[in-house]
């Protein structure tokens, strides 16, 4: 068989992914004076999943105004273009080694390798597919994840169906309930297995209530009907152990079932590189710099943990971008090793560990809906921080600002910082 | 008039077609679905059985052992992934151990080599993840795994490359005896042939009846499966069967040739020959038994579940016979896949024994390029292919890393695919952990472009399985 050599190049900073995280990370690095940057994007344009999110509600925190997804993406794309930050589209990264050699391919270069000074992982996330839900019944056409339906409708201009049931009340599902309604489809119900929605409160108001779409909490789809194309679903209420109650089963005729049952960070490359993942976030375990356990490899955005708002993705990505530049310039001083532990009511924190004595914003999510609770950060018995919260919900990310003092104290007092709800 | 019409393009129809295409015969394969491999072939345990299961002296036993011995070379020539991973039938009690000894004796009588009943200690050396309650096992080193639909696509494709014709969406409705042969008709068209070979799976009794043979019936037996992410594919290296008991044969836990982990099947006789639905009870049973056989299965990594229908014939054995040029290959339940190459030969012998003098097709080429050859290339080899055709660098399916070039090539390779699932079986695009979430809008686009049809006309698997109902603003 014929062969052709694999080209190798060098680059100080390789950013894997040109969505909101990757672009913000590259922009931050550029603004610190780094020029030898390369963004690798698998799609045909920068912007990532925002390109198909044509609804508004993006950018209130970051830009102080309400933008659509493509508008938000374009703000960053324009910065990338104006700064002249190099990027390659239609380029798939297929591997990352422990010593930061990135393997990628595109139609112009074929397969090539980049020896990177630092790597920022910003591959985003994907939706949980039907198979993973293990619903009984047939396997007809007409079952899509909400994001796939969004792609068909918003990017390709095709309608997946007329009569819709949505399983899961994640934000994309809520957004698609409204979108399908506006396109003339009838959304008959949104079923949510949990007793609360995993989506943002504002999306429940604006996408369901405003259109009289019923949100059926503690409900799930128990059977799929239809041999060729979907003809209907059986839904049912679930008990406190999330087991369906047969007496409540109800048949709903429909030709489309959309799934919005959670997002999974896309960490195949991360795992291949040998980086261990947090079992709760499904993203890498990182420190305040968003540096993974492999030196010089950083992660940010939805590949690290699923965010509720893109504004926080950008914020986190710029932390990673700045840190990558400090790493390249040997300016990092990692002097402590503090583990951040979540108590279970708090499901996870990012970062999971702290290695520098510097002000750090910690993001977290809770496991259930809680009212009138205190968020407490403590080392052993010593409370370093507490704040009352009227309401906490799994769908909304929360933050705590840690001061350098707190981190120094945590390091002195044993190195474990506990995040809990009391 | 054709020489041979084969009804059904499953793994048996394919094996027969491929064997007969070695001779100067005008062959036509009729398939009622929109693609080949749409019946039991696409949903079974993907196992090449060693041959200790079937009763001594049965056709099943003879063809299984023969097929199993042929399979490695057969698969290699056709470029089909095959792996001799060995199998373990695991037992949980002294009673099971006795059963395993009986199986071993039966296997030896059938001519299976290397069978041994081994202790838990020995099992742990070769399968550290074996279930806690397992006390003994029958080790069959000749057991193997293969991809059944890939084998079917390769045999049908190879037969076509050697001159056979495939008619898809041809549902046989009538068979009429005519002078010198038969007339086989769908609602729209007819094909006449001197020989008719009935490889119609669960419908083979209905097809036989059309030709006047009501000597047997076939019932569908539902088997439910779960498939786990490639992350779990190395949990076991052998195929882990369960010792048969009063409760039935039990399920298996097995790696697949593509690196996934397969669990199943249940066994339930049903009436509806189209009912490929999964059930909550069935999937729960698979889960329970799998957990007893193998420890540490991560059920959070299930990527899909599915049902296959085995063709259970009323005689208890394979029903393969010839009368007046009409040949049945019916009741081909397990070990049908293992026996397929041998069944192809057996049918050819039936034709010869009926007085037909077969003449070798001198231009026959039995080799076929592996469908996944590109994925197996080195980076340098891939770069040479990409330099010729850049589409091979354009990744469409990010989970399985399938390129546009591979998809386009599959669209133009026999047997040609027309729908999304057909692309999935050929290229693995959509077969991975996101189950087509990202790639399907692109695959639909490529299919529409290459086939010269409209975007909305592309289906998931033919028939009424439409993916989109029309353009936005127009529906």
Which pLDDT score is estimated for B475? 72
Q: Please report the residues numbered 414 through 443 in chain B whose beta carbons come closer than 8 angstroms to any beta carbon of chain A.
A: 433-438, 440-441
Q: Token digits for B125?
A: 């050396």
Which of A3, A90, A127 lies at the smallest CB-CB distance from B384? A3
Is ipTM over 0.90?
Answer: yes
Question: Which pLDDT score, from 0 to 100, does residue B159 have?
Answer: 98
* pLDDT over 70 percentage in chain A: 100
CA-to-CA separations, B272 to A137, A148, B37, B309, in angstroms, rounded: 14, 32, 19, 10
| CB distance B35 to B417 below 8 Å | yes
DSSP designation for B424: H
B231 DSSP 8-state letter? G
DSSP string, B275-297: ---B-HHHHHHHHHHHHHHBS--
Specify the length of chain B in residues: 475
By Cβ distance, the residue of B227, B435, B464 closest to A130 is B435
- pLDDT for res A259: 95
Smallest CA–CA distance from A258 into chain B, residue: B437
Per-residue confidence band for B432, with pLDDT thresholds at 50, 70 and 90: confident
Would you state the structure tokens that stand for residue A26, as one six-digit string? Answer: 């590259």
Q: What is the pLDDT of residues B159-195, one digit of tens each?
A: 999 999 999 999 999 999 999 999 999 999 999 999 9
DSSP H or E stretch at residue A46: none
Q: What is the predicted pLDDT for the residue at A333?
A: 87
> Percentage of chain B surpassing pLDDT 70?
100
Using CB atoms, pick whichever of B283, B385, B445 lies closest to residue A136. Answer: B283
Range of lowest pLDDT (A297-311, B311-325, B425-439): B425-439
Q: In the numeric block, which tokens belong to residue B155?
A: 């045999």
Is a pLDDT exceeding 90 seen at residue B433?
no
Please answer yes or no on whether A130 and B398 come within 8 Å at the CB atom.
Answer: no
In degrees and rounded to multiples of 5, residue A231 shows phi and psi of: -115, -15
pTM: 0.94
Q: State which H helix or E strand residue A297 sits in.
A: strand A297-299
CB-CB contact of A297 with A121 (8 Å): yes
Q: How far is CA A47 from CA A30, A86, A120, A172, B437, in A?
A: 18, 15, 16, 17, 18
Residue B434's pLDDT is what?
Answer: 87
Is residue A18 scored above 80 in pLDDT?
yes
Residue B24 confidence class, pLDDT cut points 50, 70, 90: very high
Closest of B257, B62, B286, B54 to residue B144, by C-alpha? B257
**Catalytic residue check, B238:** no
* B219 contact A CB<8A: no
Query: How are beta strands A370-379 and B261-264 bridged, if at all?
Result: unpaired
Name the band, by pLDDT with cuts 50, 70 and 90, for residue A130. Answer: confident
**Structure tokens belonging to residue B327:** 């040949």
Structure tokens at B424: 């999935």
Closest CB from B395, B399, B464 relative to A229? B464
User: Could you read off the pLDDT of B346-384 as tens digits, one per residue?
Assistant: 999 999 999 999 999 999 999 999 999 999 999 999 999
Structure confidence at residue B316 (pLDDT): 94
Averaged pLDDT for residues A361-389: 95
Q: Structure tokens of A167?
A: 């399983």
Q: Do A3 and B438 touch (CB under 8 A)?
A: no
Query: Average pLDDT for residues A325-330, to the nearest whole number?
Result: 98
Q: Within an 8 Å CB–CB cutoff, is residue A6 touching chain B?
A: yes
Q: How far is the C-alpha of B242 from the C-alpha of A298, rounded, in Å?
A: 46
Question: Does the structure show a pLDDT above 90 at A25?
Answer: yes
- What is the average per-residue pLDDT within B10-24? 98
Average pLDDT over residues B74-94: 97
Residues above pLDDT 90, as percent of chain A: 95
Task: Please write the tens of the pLDDT for every residue from B113-166.
Answer: 999 999 999 999 999 999 999 999 999 999 999 999 999 999 999 999 999 999
* Residue-level length of chain A: 422
Between residues A27 and B231, the one the model is more confident about: A27
Instruction: Say if the Cβ atoms of B440 and A222 lie within 8 Å.
Output: no
Name the token pair of B363.
């231009």
The larger pLDDT score, comparing residue B250 to residue B321, is at B321
Q: Which H/E stretch holds residue B145? A: strand B144-146
Closest residue in A to B389 (Cα–Cα): A107
A131 has pLDDT over 80:
no
Confidence of residue B250 (pLDDT cuts 50, 70, 90): confident
**What is the C-alpha separation between B217 and B203, in angstroms, rounded?**
9
Q: Contact B395/A1, CB-based, under 8 Å? A: no
pLDDT in tens, A40-88: 999 999 999 999 999 999 999 999 999 999 999 999 999 999 999 999 9
Average pLDDT over residues A160-177: 96
- Res. B248: pLDDT tops 80: no
Residue of B49, B238, B372, B418 marked active site: B49
Question: What band does B339 get if pLDDT is binned at 50, 70 and 90?
Answer: very high
B475 contacts on A by Cβ (under 8 Å): 159, 162, 184
If you average pLDDT over every residue of chain A, what do you get? 96
* Closest to B178 in 3D by CA, of B5, B31, B359: B5
Per-residue pLDDT band for A198 (boundaries 50, 70, 90) equals: confident
What is the enclosing helix (H) or strand (E) of B309? strand B302-313
* Dmax (CA) of chain A: 69
What's the longest Cα–Cα distance across chain B?
A: 69
Domains of chain B as residue ranges with CATH: 1-82+146-217+314-370 (3.50.50.60), 87-141+221-311 (3.30.9.10), 373-457 (1.10.10)
Residues 6+ apart with CB under 8 A from A286: A292, A298, A299, A304, A350, A351, A352, A353
Q: What is the pLDDT of residue A62?
A: 96
Cβ neighbours of B282 in A, within 8 Å: 136
In chain A, which residues have their Cβ closer than 8 Å to the Cβ of B305? 131, 134
Does residue A39 surpass a pLDDT of 90? yes
Q: How many helices (H) and strands (E) does chain A have?
A: 9, 29
Contact B81, B373 (CB under 8 A): no
B391 CA: distance to closest CA in chain A (Å): 6
DSSP letters spanning B317-361: S-EEEEETTEEEEE---TTHHHHHHHHHHHHHHHHHHTT----B-
C-beta atoms of B305 and A131 within 8 A:
yes
Residue A82's pLDDT is: 98
Least confident of A23-27, A128-132, B300-304: A128-132
The alpha helices in B222-307, defined as continuous H runs, are: 280-293
CB contact, 8 Å: A83 with chain B? Answer: no
Please answer yes or no on whether B283 and A184 come within 8 Å at the CB atom: no
Mean pLDDT along residues B450-470: 96
What is the average pLDDT across A90-102?
A: 97
What residue of B is the nearest CA neighbor of A6? B380
Inter-chain touch B435–A131, beta carbons under 8 Å = yes
Task: Say if A236 is an interface residue toward chain B (CB within 8 Å).
Answer: no
> What residue ranges define each of the domains in chain A, with the CATH number in brackets?
8-126+263-330 (3.50.50.60), 129-261 (3.50.50.60), 337-422 (no CATH)
Confirm or reject contact between A158 and chain B (CB < 8 A).
Answer: yes
């Amino acid at each position: 068989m014929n062969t052709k050599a694999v080209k190798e190049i060098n680059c100080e900073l390789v950013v894997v992914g040109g969505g909101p995280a990757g672009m913000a990370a590259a922009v931050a690095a550029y603004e610190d004076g780094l020029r030898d940057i390369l963004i690798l994007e698998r799609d045909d344009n920068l912007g990532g999943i925002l390109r198909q999110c044509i609804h508004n509600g993006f950018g209130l925190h970051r830009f102080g105004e309400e933008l659509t997804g493509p508008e938000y993406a374009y703000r960053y794309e324009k910065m990338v273009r104006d700064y002249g930050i190099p990027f390659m589209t239609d380029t798939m990264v297929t591997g990352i080694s422990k010593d930061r050699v990135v393997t990628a391919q595109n139609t112009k270069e074929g397969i090539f390798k980049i020896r990177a000074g630092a790597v920022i992982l910003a591959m985003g996330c994907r939706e949980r597919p039907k198979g993973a839900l293990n619903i009984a019944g047939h396997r007809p056409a007409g079952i899509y994840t909400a994001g796939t339906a969004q792609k068909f409708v918003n990017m390709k201009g095709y309608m997946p169906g007329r009569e819709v049931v949505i399983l899961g009340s994640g934000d994309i599902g809520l957004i698609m309930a409204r979108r399908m309604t506006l396109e003339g489809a009838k959304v008959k119900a949104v079923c949510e297995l949990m007793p609360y929605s995993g989506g943002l409160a504002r999306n429940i108001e604006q996408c369901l209530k405003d259109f009289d779409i019923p949100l059926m909490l503690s409900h799930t789809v128990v059977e799929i009907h239809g041999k060729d194309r979907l003809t209907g679903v059986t839904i049912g209420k679930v008990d406190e152990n999330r087991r369906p109650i047969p007496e409540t089963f109800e048949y709903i005729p429909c030709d489309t079932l959309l799934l919005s049952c959670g997002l999974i960070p896309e960490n195949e490359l991360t795992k291949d590189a040998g980086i261990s993942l947090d079992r709760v976030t499904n993203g890498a375990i990182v420190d305040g710099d968003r540096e993974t356990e492999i030196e010089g490899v950083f992660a940010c955005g939805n590949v690290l943990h699923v965010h509720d708002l893109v504004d926080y993705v950008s914020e986190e990505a710029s932390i990673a971008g700045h840190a990558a530049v400090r790493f390249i310039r040997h300016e990092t001083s990692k002097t402590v090793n503090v583990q951040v532990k979540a108590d279970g009511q708090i499901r996870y924190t990012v970062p999971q560990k702290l290695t520098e004595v510097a002000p750090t914003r910690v993001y977290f999510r809770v496991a259930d809906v809680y009212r009138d609770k205190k968020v407490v950060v403590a080392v052993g018995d010593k409370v370093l921080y507490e704040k009352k919260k009227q309401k906490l919900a799994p769908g909304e990310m929360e933050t705590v600002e840690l001061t350098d003092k707190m981190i120094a104290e945590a390091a002195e007092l044993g190195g474990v910082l506990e995040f809990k709800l009391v | 008039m054709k020489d041979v019409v084969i009804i059904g393009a499953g793994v048996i129809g394919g094996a027969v077609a491929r064997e007969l295409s070695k001779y100067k015969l005008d062959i036509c394969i009729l398939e009622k679905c929109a693609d080949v491999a749409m019946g039991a072939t696409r949903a079974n345990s993907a196992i090449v059985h060693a041959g200790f299961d079937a009763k001594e002296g049965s056709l099943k036993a003879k063809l299984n052992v023969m097929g199993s011995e042929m399979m490695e070379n057969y698969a290699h020539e056709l470029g089909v992934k095959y792996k001799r991973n060995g199998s373990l039938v695991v037992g949980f009690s002294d009673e099971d151990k006795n059963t395993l000894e009986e199986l071993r004796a039966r296997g030896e009588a059938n001519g299976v080599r290397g069978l041994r009943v081994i202790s838990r200690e020995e099992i742990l050396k070769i399968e550290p993840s074996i279930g806690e309650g397992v006390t003994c096992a029958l080790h069959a080193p000749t057991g193997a795994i293969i991809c059944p639909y890939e084998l079917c696509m390769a045999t049908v494709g190879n037969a076509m490359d050697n001159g056979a014709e495939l008619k898809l969406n041809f549902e046989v409705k009538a068979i009429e005896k005519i002078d010198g042969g038969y007339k086989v008709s769908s609602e729209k068209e007819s094909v006449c042939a001197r020989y008719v070979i009935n490889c119609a799976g669960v419908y083979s009794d209905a097809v036989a009846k059309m030709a006047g043979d009501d000597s047997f019936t076939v019932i569908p037996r539902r088997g439910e499966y779960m498939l786990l992410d490639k992350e779990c594919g190395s949990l076991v290296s052998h195929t882990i069967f369960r010792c048969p008991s009063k409760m039935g044969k039990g399920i298996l836990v097995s790696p697949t040739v593509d690196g996934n982990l397969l669990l199943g099947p249940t066994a339930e006789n049903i009436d509806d020959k189209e009912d490929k639905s999964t059930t909550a009870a069935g999937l729960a049973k698979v889960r329970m038994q799998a957990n007893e056989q193998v420890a540490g299965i991560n059920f959070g990594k299930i990527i899909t579940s599915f049902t296959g229908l085995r063709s259970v014939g009323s005689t208890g054995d394979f029903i393969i016979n010839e009368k007046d040029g009409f040949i049945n290959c019916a009741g081909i339940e397990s070990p049908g896949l293992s026996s397929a190459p041998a069944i192809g030969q057996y049918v050819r012998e039936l034709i010869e024994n009926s007085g037909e003098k077969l003449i070798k097709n001198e231009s026959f080429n039995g080799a076929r390029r592996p469908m996944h050859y590109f994925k197996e290339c080195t980076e340098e080899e891939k770069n040479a292919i990409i330099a010729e055709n850049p589409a091979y660098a354009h990744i469409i399916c990010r989970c399985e890393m399938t390129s546009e070039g591979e998809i386009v090539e599959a669209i133009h390779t026999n047997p040609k695919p027309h729908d999304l699932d057909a692309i999935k079986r050929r290229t693995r695009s959509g077969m991975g952990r996101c189950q087509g979430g990202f790639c399907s809008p692109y695959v639909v686009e490529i299919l529409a472009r290459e086939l010269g049809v409209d975007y909305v006309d592309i289906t998931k698997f033919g028939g009424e399985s439409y993916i989109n109902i029309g353009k936005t603003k127009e529906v």
